[in-house]
Chain A
Amino acid sequence: MNALFAAAGTEFRIALRNRWVTVAVAMMALFALVLSAAGSAATGALGADRLSVTVASLTSLAVYLVPLIALLMSFDAIAGEVERGTLPLVLTYPVARATLLAGKFAAHLGILALAVAVGYGIAAGAALVTDPGAARGLPALWRLLWSSVALGATFLGIGYAISALARRPGAAAGAVIGLWLGVIVLFDLGLLAAVVADGGGAFTTVVFPWLLLGNPADAFRLFNLAASGATAAAAGVGGAAQAIPPALALASVLGWPVLGFGLALAAFRKVTP
C-alpha cells in the first residue's frame, strides 16, 4: 500500500511540474464558464430548473472533454518510461506491476476528478445564483460528477493499454487521438448513418441499443440523460435514452473502468523493458 501511495505521489508531482494539473483544470473551468454564459438564455419553456439544464449541457461537454483529458494524461505513462529508460530500474524493485499501474492511475484520476469538480462547480454555481429552484438539480449534478470520473477512469485505462502496446510516446499519442476520434466522434456519426439507412429495421431496434451501451462514452451520455429529467434539453442520442433501461447504462458506466484497467494491466504485464 505504501508503494502505491509512493507511486501515486510521484506521478502527481510529475503531472504538477509538467503543468498537466493546470491544463486539465483550466480546460474544464474554461469550457464550463463558456457553457454557463451560453446557457444563461431563457430555458423556462422546458419546465426544468436551471441546474438540470446545465447538467444536460455539461454531459455533452464531458463526453468530449473528459476522455480527451484522460487519454492525453495516460498515453505517455508507460511508453514515456520505456523511452526515457526509467522502466527497467523500477521493475527490479519488489513492487508488483499492478501496484505501479494503480499508483499512476490513482494520481491521474485524482487530477481528472479535481478538474471535473472545478469545472462543474463553476457551472453549478452560476446556475444556483441565477435560479433559486436550481437546488432540485443537485442529485443530477452529483451523478454527472461521479460518472464523469468513471468515464475518465475508463479512458485512462485504455490510454495506458495503448501506451504499453505502442511502446513509443509518438506512436501512442497518434493512437489515442485516433481512438478518441473513432470512439467519441465518428462512432455516433456511423451509428446515425446506419440508423438512417436501416429505416427502423432490426438494426435500429436490436443492435443499435447494444452498440450504444458498448461504447463507454455513449453509455455515459445515456445514463446521465435518462436520469436527468431534462432530456428534452439535449439533442442527439437523447431520444434513444428512453428506449434503454438505465440499469444497463449504469452497468456499462461502472463496468468499463474495471475493463479499462484490466486491459491496461494485461498490456503492461507484456512489456519487456
Chain B
Amino acid sequence: MLRLADVTKSFQGTPALHGVGFTVAPGERVALLGHNGAGKSTLMKIILGLIAADAGRISVMGAAPGSMGARAVTAYLPENAAFHPALTGLEQIRYYLRLRGEDPKGARTLLEKVGLGEAARRRIGTYSKGMRQRVGLAQALIGAPRLLVLDEPTSGLDPVSRRDFYAVLDDLAGRGAAILLSSHALTEVEARTDRIVILSGGRLMADDTLAGLRRRAALPIRLQVQARPDTADRVAARLTGTRHNGVRVDLVCGPADKLARLGEISALGALIDDVEVIPPSLEDIYSHFSQRDLP
C-alpha cells in the first residue's frame, strides 16, 4: 500500500506540492492527472525517493521512500524513458534484470511481452520513441513489482500499443500490484483506472472515482430535442429552450432536474422526433476540478 499524507515540497521558495495526501491500495489503479507543472512528476520523484519532501509522511509498502526495501518492490517508468543508444534492447533489459538480482535470461521474454521481440538485438539508438517507451515498460515488469509508478506511460504509443499496455497493467493489478500512473488526458484513463487524483498548482483538487467526480462536479447536462418539422418554435416555447436550427431545441439542466425535464419532453408527444442526453464531457469535469480551462 502506498500512503501519502500532507506531502509538501518547494523549490527555491516556489511551492511545488502543498499538503498532498492519498493512498493506492494493492490491486488498485490510480490515475494522477494535472497540467504541466501541476506537480505530478515531482510527486512521483518523491515517492521514488529521488528527491526528498520538505514535509509530510510517505510510506511505500511500509518502507521509507528511496530505502532499499522500498526500491526493491517498486518499478518506475519515467516520462520519455531514455536508455544508452549504444546498447541493444536485449542488453539493456539484461542489465536491469541483473541489477534487480534476477536471471538475465528472462530479458527475451520481457521484450516479447511488450512486442519488441523482433528488435531485441538492435541498438536502442535506432528505436522510435514508442519502442523506447516499450523498453521502459519491459524493465518496469521485472520481478513482479508491488508498486508501479508510471509517468505518462502511454505518450508516444499508438492506439493499439496503448491497448496492449493497459492489458499488461490490468494483469499486474490483478496480481495485486498497486499502480499509480500520470496522464494529461482524462479520456484515456477513464475506463482503465479505478480512481482519479487531480493535482493543480501542487494541490490535491480531487481524489475519487470517475462516477464520484461526475456527481460532485454536478455540471449541467445538455438535452438536445429533435422537433418535428415546423414544430421547433412551439417546442422551444413550451420547454423554454433555445431553438438552434430548423428542428433542434437545446435545453440545459442540472443533474437533479434531468428526469423532470425528460418527463416534460416526453409529454409533448407527437411534437418530438427524438431526444439526446449529453452528459458533461470528461474534459469539462477535469477543467472543473483543475480550475483552469483547457486550451
Q: Which A residues contact B (CB, under 8 angstroms)?
A: 2-3, 5-7, 9-10, 13-14, 17-18, 84-86, 88-96, 272-273
With A and B bound together, what is the CA distance between A134 and B199 in angstroms? Answer: 75
Distance between A258 CB and nearest chain B CB, rounded to angstroms? 25
Distance between B127 CB and nearest chain A CB, rounded to angstroms? 14
Docked-complex contact A6 and B139, CB < 8 angstroms: no
A-B contact pairs, 29 of them (CB 8 A): A2-B101, A3-B98, A5-B98, A6-B95, A6-B99, A7-B95, A7-B99, A10-B84, A10-B91, A17-B87, A18-B86, A84-B82, A84-B84, A85-B82, A86-B83, A88-B45, A89-B78, A89-B81, A89-B139, A90-B99, A91-B50, A92-B71, A93-B71, A94-B71, A94-B99, A95-B99, A272-B50, A273-B45, A273-B50
Docked-complex contact B78 and A14, CB < 8 angstroms: no
B72 is an interface residue with CB less than 8 A from chain A: yes
Distance between B131 CB and nearest chain A CB, rounded to angstroms? 16
Closest to B97 in A: A6
Which of A6, A17, A94 is within 8 Å of B86, CB to CB? A17
With A and B bound together, what is the CA distance between A213 and B51 in angstroms? Answer: 40
Given contacts A3-B101, A93-B99, contact A13 B87 (CB under 8 A): yes
B166 is an interface residue with CB less than 8 A from chain A: no
With A and B bound together, what is the CA distance between A221 and B100 in angstroms? Answer: 43
Docked-complex contact B86 and A88, CB < 8 angstroms: no
Distance between A175 CB and nearest chain B CB, rounded to angstroms? 23
Which residues of chain B come closer than 8 Å to A5, judged between CB atoms? 98
Q: A88-B48, A93-B99 are in contact. List 13 more A-B contacts (CB 8 A).
A: A13-B87, A13-B91, A14-B87, A17-B86, A84-B84, A85-B78, A85-B80, A86-B84, A88-B78, A89-B76, A90-B99, A95-B99, A273-B45
The count of residues in chain B whose C-beta lies closer than 8 Å to any C-beta of chain A is: 28
Docked-complex contact A93 and B45, CB < 8 angstroms: no
Docked-complex contact A3 and B87, CB < 8 angstroms: no
Which residues of chain A come closer than 8 Å to B91, judged between CB atoms? 10, 13
With A and B bound together, what is the CA distance between A89 and B91 in angstroms? Answer: 16
Given contacts A90-B99, A93-B96, contact A14 B80 (CB under 8 A): no
With A and B bound together, what is the CA distance between A10 and B88 in angstroms? Answer: 11
Which of B72, B75, B83, B99 is within 8 Å of A3, CB to CB? B99
Closest 5 CB pairs of A and B: A6-B98, A85-B82, A17-B86, A94-B71, A94-B72
Which residues of chain A come closer than 8 Å to B83, judged between CB atoms? 86
Closest to A3 in B: B99
Which residues of chain A come closer than 8 Å to B211, judged between CB atoms? none
Which residues of chain A come closer than 8 Å to B95, judged between CB atoms? 6-7, 9-10
Distance between A64 CB and nearest chain B CB, rounded to angstroms? 29
With A and B bound together, what is the CA distance between A96 and B72 in angstroms? Answer: 12
Give residues 262-285 of B contacting A (CB, 8 Å). none
With A and B bound together, what is the CA distance between A272 and B45 in angstroms? Answer: 10
